[in-house]
Structures are given as C-alpha cells and as structure tokens.
Structure 1
Amino acid sequence: MLEIELSNFDALSEMKILLIRRDNIGDLILTTPLIATLANSLNCKIDVLVNTYNQPILEHNPHVGKVHIYSKLHHRQPGQSSVGVIFRRLKTIFDIRRAGYDVAIIAREQWDKRPLQWAKLSGAKRIIAIGENAPAAITDCIPPTQQQIHIVELLNQFAEVLDIRQQPGSLELYVTPQELENAVQSLALPSGIPLYGLQISARKPMQRWQADKFIELAHRLGREQNCHFLLFWSPGSADNQQHPGDDEKAQYIIDRCKDLALTPVVTNTLRELMAAVSLCDQMLTSDGGALHIAAGLGKPVVALFGNSEAWFWGPWQVPHKIISAESRNVGDITVDMVEEQFLQLRETVIATAQ
C-alpha cells in the first residue's frame, strides 16, 4: 500500500502542467492562487499560456515556469505588423507542442473553443475544464456548480481533479524593490500620513462612478483627516477605438482638486501601476482589474459593484468593503455611502494593526 502511494506521489511530482488563461488582467490575477497551489503541492513550476496584455502580472512569480505568450492582433504594439504577430503565434504553438505536457488546464469559469484549441495543440494527455456538453477532447470535465462561490474557489476545483485538497491562498503579485524605488522617486510622496488611491476607470459603463462624486469624496476625506490622494486611471483618450482611456475624466478631477494634496499617477505600463498601487494604504475602485491588483498587493479596498456579482468577483482575502448598487449601476451609489464605508474600513484596519 505504501509503495502504491509513493508511486502516485512521484507521478504527480513529475507532471508537466500547462495552464491556459488568455483573458483580462483581473482574470489572471484571480488565477494566481491556483497556480501557487499546484506548484506547492506538486513541487514544480507551472507553465502558463497568457496574452501580451496580461503577461506582466506573472513577472517574478516564483511559482511560474515558462510563460507562453499569445499575441492578439488588436493588442499589437505600434509598428508591429500583423505578419509579425502571426509568426510569433506559430512559434508559441511550436514551443507548446515541443514541451510535452501531461495536463492542460483551461482555467476559465466555462470552457471555450479557443482555449480548447490551444489545449489540443499542446498534445496533453489530459485536458481539464469546467462546463457542460464538453467535447471528447476534454478528458476531465468539472460540472458547473449551483452554489454561490468566489471565482478563486471555483478555479481551485482544477487542483481537486488532480487529488490536491488544499484551500486556496491569497492573490499573488510581485513588485521588485527597484520598481518600488522608482515609484517612490517619481511620485515624491509625503511620509507619515495615509496615502489613499482613487481609481476612476471601469471598462463597463454600469461600473463607472461619476467624476464629480470622486471630487466630492476627496474633499470630504481631506477635511476629515490629513491625507494624500493618488489618482489612478486608464491612460488614453476616451475616443481611442482600440484602448479607450480616461485622460479627460482625470484632468477634470485634477483641475477641481487643486486645493487638495493629490498626485496624478500617470502609468505607462502595468508594472508601473502595480508599483504605485503598492504605495497606497487604502484603495477605492470599481470592480475590474485595478480591484484585483490592489487585492493582489494586500491593500484594503472599497469596491463598487454595479452589474457584476460581488460574491463571485469581490476582493479576495484582504480587508474590504463592498458597495453594491441596487439598480446595478455604480453611478447611483452616493458619496455618503462611499465615505461611510471608506472611513469604517480605515478604522478597522488601524484597530486590527494595534
């Protein structure tokens, strides 16, 4: 009996796993507990297929091995040709096939044809996915749950298929000391007072809080206590067809907060954003990638939810307050509600630290 158990352990520890997560930034961050669980339990590094947009999330993650990058045509860099993107994609296919994976995991809430194609291209003996009516190529299909569980807990079921029984840990992001030092030097922030991050962008219209409400909240908090604000937003103009941003909204807020200690944080890269958020003592943001960046860096966060489910997408394993709009439109959330929850969270964090 002991020999059989040892043999099974050896088989697991030698397993080569490809985890496929080609989705948005927040989706990949929410997958990091699964990556850590697999790596720690199997005593190996996990190879991951991601896209060029979310790839920086995995930099310096000790549980990640080879990162295969899928280039989407609409994410190509200025001056990069479509032919170059396609050539890189072919190279990625070759590298994945050559790696010889035993298991491919489609790390999504529901299997999809495109990640399944990549799983099949890997030649993996086992393909694990969640969903119904799965094709024969998916050897291990996890039935959808009817319970209201967080997405991190849902993704943890992939580990259970491999007989790993472990509760998922926290989200994991790794900012280097040099990145942190660069952020400190470029922002020149004061010390000894709270640094509050205000993140004003949201991809979905129903998740957007109005600029005037951010302005009012900042003035109220500024009157309440001696603090400093860091203003975050998605860079770019609102009329940019490929990557619409909130430059105009940010400037509107900056112009009306000149009487406050507020520093606009212009971030050109995802790594710069992570480093700047890591300086904050507390964040306010709508549901989205920035929310999970804050949680991945262990920051207390007040999260605004409109037409997305807080029980599924909420902050994971960090002190937080969730404000869900009854109308499912974040724009209907009042400044009074946000101020109250923001100050309550701050008091709770201070009390816990004492």
Structure 2
Amino acid sequence: MSTFDTADRLSYNPRMVGTVTPSSILIIRLSSIGDVVRTLPALTSLRQNYPKAHITWVVEDKSSGILEGHPYLDEVLVFERKRIVRSLKNPLRFPEAVALLIRFLSRLRSVKYDLAFDFHGILKSGLIAYLSHSPKRIGFKEGYVKEFSYFFTNLRIRPSDAGLPRVVRNLELIKQFVLPGNLTQRPALGVTDKHRAKAHKFIHDKLGDCHPLVAVHPGTSRPLKKWPLQSFAALCDLLTQKLGARVILTWGPGEREEVEQIRSLTRTRPLIGMQTDSLLELAALLELCEMMVTVDSGPMHIGSAMGTPVVAIFGPTDERINAPYWKPNRIVRSEVPCHPCDEDCVYAKCMEAVKPEDVLEAASELFKQERPLRSR
C-alpha cells in the first residue's frame, strides 16, 4: 500500500501578455464538478489580470451549481444538455430541442468575445468556442484533446507534461495571456455567509460543539471508482474508535440510500449529513470538518478547495492528474500492476484491495499533522 502527497509544479514564461486587452472573455468547461473546480484558479488568474473584462463561463446544468454567485463571473451560460438530449429522443419534442439550442446560441452570440478558452477539449466544447465567433480561440494541441476538438481552435497549446495535475494544465492554457504575478493556484468559490450559517446550524443542532468532525463521502460519478460499502462502514467505526472523531456521512442527489446502507453496517452509527440544496452548501459543510475521507469525486475537489484536509482513495484513475490539488492531502491506493487504467473493469480489484486500516493510517498521519495547525 502506498500513500502519496501531491507536489506543486508551476513554471511559466508568458509571451503574449500585452498583445491583447480583452473586453470580454469566454471560458468553456462544461463538466464535471471536479473539473469545474480545478478550472477556478484559471478564472481567478484571468480576473486578476483583466479586472474590467466581461467574463462568461459556459457549463452544463449538472455542474453549474458550483459557479453559483461566483464573484469573478459576470455571466454563467448554462448549456441545458439534459433537456436537449431528452427532447431529441422524442420526435414529438424535437422542436423543443431546437428552441433550446437557438436560445443558447443567441445568448452565446450576444457578447463579442475577444478570447475564448476551451478547457474541456471535446467536440461539443470546440463547437461552442467556434460558434462564439471569437477571433482568438485557445485550446490544447492534438493529442491532448478528444473528438478532434482542436479543429475549432486557432491557438493551440501543448502542455509541458502529459502527467500534469489538472489545475496546472489549465493554468498553462492561459499563461501566455496572464502576467506571472497574476497566476494563482488557489481556487475561489462563491460560498456565502448564508451557506455557512445553514451548515453550522445543522452541525450545532445535531452534535453541539464536538470535535474533531470528519466527513466521509462515499459517492462518485462512476461505479468503477467506488469503494465497497462495508469498507466505508468499517472505516467509520475505526475513525471513531481510534481517532475519537465524530463522523458525518455526506451525500448528494441519488446517494441517500447508499449512506444509509453504510450507517446500518456500522457499530458507531455516524451522523447522516443534511440534504444540501446546492453544491455550495456542501462546500460550507465540508469547510467545518477537520478532515474529509472520500474517493475520486467532485466533492473531493470541493473539500480540497475549501481547505479541508483530504484523504482520497484511488483505484483506476491517475492520482498524478486527479488527486486533490490543494494541500494538505493524502492519497491511498493499492499496488496493482494495471494501475492506472481508467477502464470499466467488471471488478474494481484495485479499489477492493484498499483496506480500511490503510485509510485509517493515512488519516491518522494527516490528523496528527494538521489538527494542531487548524486549532491555532
């Protein structure tokens, strides 16, 4: 069993700063939640360099909540993928899909964008960049994107390393347009006092002022990245018995049954987290925790962005690229020869091979290291 700690790697040599002063900028990162979070430092850097520019972000509906009320955005343009796909499947609703696409294109073209950054690198995002009519459409070179999206960009950037953390790679896409002093690795989320007050009230009403509070988030978008429920249950008991932690099982849409199953398998009966109305409420809840234990997921990146120490369990995906970027964190994975594969295996042996005791060890190390710092 190996435990890794991510390292910050940034090296910039801007060449185009001063050649353009954009009045409007388009950011395209459609999904997923974790990838949107890891694009936020690029947004912050662009805003710091161009404080008066109108900045629009195109995102799909499922991931749009993380951008709600963001202070650095002038507009969030939601691409209603779910409704469009649902309408296209029904011939009787085909006109609805056409109307949604026309409305989206109308809003997209209502602003003349001087720069369009395609962080996503798929056919759909490339088409959106092209249809924006921006004269400068920046994306990654062939070999670093999918579905021939490079056909739709006219300034193509080659990442310095194929194994870069996604945050660094995203910053490399904008580095030619940003002064070195305005490049930042820190994210910014639109979490408000209202979000924090709701999270604090829930914790206070359920647990009082108890500490330490550890969030355990089992949910993830792909079954391949899931850790067995019984392993999560055993870990919850170990965190309580060995570290004296109060464990809270956090969850998102469609995950309530899963956390209830985990709780039923425990002896210590951890608290099931509140139903959050937005991703920012989840962010506020994670911010209150002294640690988060999770798998490779969007909430993993949210917790990391909020400054919560994260222990992340990895299996098929590459931790060099996908680990929680903001320290402190620990990555735990099994030593299997097929890692990383990012394939849909019938049995995710790499996840099953990670034992609760291994995760507890990483959590204990991080807990001892970080708790004195967070209590100051």
The residue type paired with residue 220 of structure 1 is L
1:24 corresponds in structure 2 to: 32
* Matches of 1:76 and 1:175, distance apart in 2: 31
* Matches of 2:265 and 2:126, distance apart in 1: 49
* Matches of 1:325 and 1:202, distance apart in 2: 18
* Matches of 2:262 and 2:296, distance apart in 1: 20
Task: Summarize the alignment of residues 38-117 of structure 1 with structure 2, pairs less than 5 Å apart.
Answer: 38-44=46-52, 45-73=54-82, 84=96, 86-108=98-120, 111-117=121-127
2:188 corresponds in structure 1 to: 172
1:340 corresponds in structure 2 to: 361
Q: Using a 3 Å threshold, how does the CA distance of structure 1 residues 41 and 73 change in structure 2: closer, same or farther?
A: same
Q: Which runs of 5+ in 1 are unaligned?
A: 1-7, 237-245
Deviation at 1:85, TM superposition (A): 5.6
Q: Using a 3 Å threshold, how does the CA distance of structure 1 residues 258 and 106 change in structure 2: closer, same or farther?
A: same
Deviation at 1:113, TM superposition (A): 1.8
Residue among 169, 172, 184 paired with 1:154: 169
* Greater CA drift, 280-289 or 155-164: 155-164
* Greater CA drift, 163-172 or 284-293: 163-172
Contact 1:32 1:172 in 2 (8 A): yes
Q: Using a 3 Å threshold, how does the CA distance of structure 1 residues 263 and 249 change in structure 2: closer, same or farther?
A: closer
The residue type paired with residue 97 of structure 1 is R
Contact 1:134 1:141 in 2 (8 A): no
1:276 corresponds in structure 2 to: 285
Q: Using a 3 Å threshold, how does the CA distance of structure 1 residues 274 and 136 change in structure 2: closer, same or farther?
A: closer
Deviation at 1:88, TM superposition (A): 3.5
Deviation at 1:160, TM superposition (A): 1.8
Deviation at 1:198, TM superposition (A): 0.4
Q: Using a 3 Å threshold, how does the CA distance of structure 1 residues 75 and 346 change in structure 2: closer, same or farther?
A: farther
Q: Which runs of 5+ in 2 are unaligned?
A: 1-16, 87-92, 143-147, 340-349
SS in structure 2 at match of 1:54: helix
TM-score (norm: length of structure 2): 0.81
* Matches of 1:96 and 1:34, distance apart in 2: 21
* Matches of 1:341 and 1:18, distance apart in 2: 40
What fraction of aligned residue pairs are identical, expressed as a percent?
23
SS in structure 1 at match of 2:74: strand
The residue type paired with residue 265 of structure 2 is R
TM-score (norm: length of structure 1): 0.85
Structure ranking higher on relative contact order (CA contacts 8 Å, 6+ apart)? 2
The residue type paired with residue 312 of structure 1 is I
Deviation at 1:76, TM superposition (A): 8.6
The residue type paired with residue 173 of structure 1 is L
Q: Using a 3 Å threshold, how does the CA distance of structure 1 residues 75 and 118 change in structure 2: closer, same or farther?
A: closer
Residue deviations 1:75-100, cap 9 Å, x none? 899xxx77556434322211221200
* Greater CA drift, 21-30 or 57-66: 57-66
Deviation at 1:335, TM superposition (A): 1.1
* Matches of 2:136 and 2:313, distance apart in 1: 39
* Matches of 1:176 and 1:37, distance apart in 2: 21
1:207 corresponds in structure 2 to: 225
* Matches of 1:226 and 1:335, distance apart in 2: 16
* Matches of 1:147 and 1:323, distance apart in 2: 22
Deviation at 1:297, TM superposition (A): 1.1
Task: Summarize the alignment of residues 147-296 of structure 1 with structure 2, pairs less than 5 Å apart.
Answer: 147-162=162-177, 164-166=179-181, 167-187=183-203, 188=205, 189-236=207-254, 246-257=255-266, 259-296=268-305
